[in-house]
Amino acid sequence: MRTIYLDHNATTPLLPEAAESMRHTEAEAYGNPASSHHVGRAARRALEDARERIAALLGAHPDEVTFTSGATEANNLAVFSLAASRVAASQLEHPCVIEPLRHLETRGLVVDWWPVNSRGIVAPCPVPPDTQLVCVMLANHETGAIQPVQAIARSLPPTTKLHCDAVQAVGKIPVNFRELGATTLTASAHKFGGPKGVGVLLTKRGTKLQPLLFGGHQQQGRRPGTESAPLAVGMATALDCSVRNMTANLARLEALRARLWERLLECGPVVLNGPEIGATDVVPTTLNVSFPGCRADLLLMSLDLAGVACSTGSACSSGSLLPSPVLRAMGIPEEQLRSALRFSLSPTLELTDIDEAATRIATVIRQMQSSAKVVG
Ligand code: PLP
């Protein structure tokens, strides 16, 4: 049976252009970018060219780009560098922002957790003057809801820094670091057709970062360790492709999201979690829905057997039966929480894939409902 992959917020397949650019870089620029001979210099050129392209595509300066192993490391680097005694953060943040903050709370950091409305949008609170850092993501990983990051940046006192996890926005909607007004911003290549194991932390000029690692001088000492030119080039190429095709991709994603919702409505009782179809404050990659009466973990397993890959929340928490903290923060009732599934789309899908997925979902739900009746 053909798999229909609807879990693109967890990760995306590598774009052929990115794969080819990485193969070429590995063959031609395999040296250590820190070596002074010509093999090392070729790797350095490839690395710095990738850094310049990523900077230009995201509205940053090349010296503001630090390559990391992905977004988890980039978010940890930002939080551990910029949080001192008081921080504000939305309750929507990914675990790789929440957990470093919780860890620092045990060491005395005060965290003001900002609430979220029922559509999944953060409600900013007044910022006490001793707050060094505010953490607000750009697009939520579970609902796609776009947060008012630019407005928040403009409202902050000049001494308060803003960290923005833009992982689910970069490559999907326009993101400009300078215009957004963030101090630091995270992106991860594997969320937009690039390779796994590489991301960036953009850091506004003049901001001091405390490295998490020691033992090398690379990347201004911010992130010691040999840089991977092939991974950096793969990320730059994937970002370039995603930005070039963004308008067409967004139109296609809107149509795919609307079609999936329309077809799910035919499957029986279903509730949308997060911004409505056609809303302007949602990345149309994501559709989070609840099927009241069906347990999400059982639904997920049955859908997997039926060849539909989706998720009950962020990839990091899958495997656990705990309901999504994001949906809980939105005030979604318990029954709806326990029956929530996230479908996440890519422009490579066809409307016929969506129709086929919906047909399989309807069959699985009918089977679950009839076996529940037999057992009941
Ligand atoms: N931030 C958000 C919003 C995410 O969705 C994810 C991954 O799901 C991450 C951070 C972590 O990304 P990475 O896999 O690059 O560590």
Residues 252 and 329 in one domain: yes
Residues 40 and 70 in one domain: yes
Please tell me if the CB atom of residue 313 comes closer than 6 angstroms to any atom of ligand 1: no
Structural domain count, the chain: 2
Give 235 Cα–ligand 1 centroid separation in angstroms.
15
What is the largest distance, in Å, between two alpha-carbon atoms of the chain? 74
Give 37 Cα–ligand 1 centroid separation in angstroms.
36
Residues 164 and 31 in one domain: yes
Residues 183 and 257 in one domain: no
pLDDT, position 313: 62
Q: What are φ and ψ of residue 260, in 5° steps?
A: -60, -45
Per-residue pLDDT of the chain (376 residues; tens, 9 = 90+): 899 999 999 999 999 999 999 999 999 999 999 999 999 999 999 999 999 999 999 999 999 999 999 999 999 999 999 999 999 999 999 999 999 999 999 999 999 999 999 999 999 999 999 999 999 999 999 999 999 999 999 999 999 999 999 999 999 999 999 999 999 999 999 999 999 999 999 999 999 999 999 999 999 999 999 999 999 999 999 999 999 999 999 999 999 999 999 999 998 899 999 999 999 999 999 999 999 999 999 999 999 999 999 999 644 444 555 789 999 999 999 999 999 999 999 999 999 999 999 999 999 999 988 877 554 4
Q: Give the integer Cα–Cα distance in Å for 41 and 32.
A: 8
Q: What's the CATH code of the domain at 278?
A: 3.90.1150.10
Ligand 1 pocket: which of 188, 235, 317, 344 to mutate (most atoms within 8 A of CB): 188
Residues 163 and 225 in one domain: yes
Across 28-77, the runs of DSSP E, i.e. the strands, are: 65-68
Give the strand pairing for 286-290 and 340-344: antiparallel
pLDDT, position 163: 98
Q: Is 316 a catalytic residue?
A: yes
Please tell me if the CB atom of residue 77 comes closer than 6 angstroms to any atom of ligand 1: no
pLDDT, position 369: 81
Determine the structural domain holding residue 220 and report its residue range. Answer: 16-244
Q: Residue 342's closest CA among 96, 91, 145, 113?
A: 145
Q: What is residue 241's three-state secondary structure?
A: helix
Closest atom of ligand 1 to 70 CA is: 15
pLDDT, position 317: 47
Please tell me if the CB atom of residue 184 comes closer than 6 angstroms to any atom of ligand 1: no
Residues 328 and 182 in one domain: no
Residues 235 and 250 in one domain: no
Instruction: Tell me which residue has its CA closest to atom 12 in ligand 1.
Output: 71
CB 187 within 8 A of CB 170: yes
pLDDT, position 316: 45
Give 155 Cα–ligand 1 centroid separation in angstroms.
27
Alpha carbon distances (Å) from 151 to 59, 147, 179, 181: 18, 9, 11, 9
Number of Cβ within a 10 Å radius of residue 368: 17
Contacts of 103 (CB under 8 A, 6+ apart): none
Q: Which of 203, 221, 244 is the last residue of a domain?
A: 244
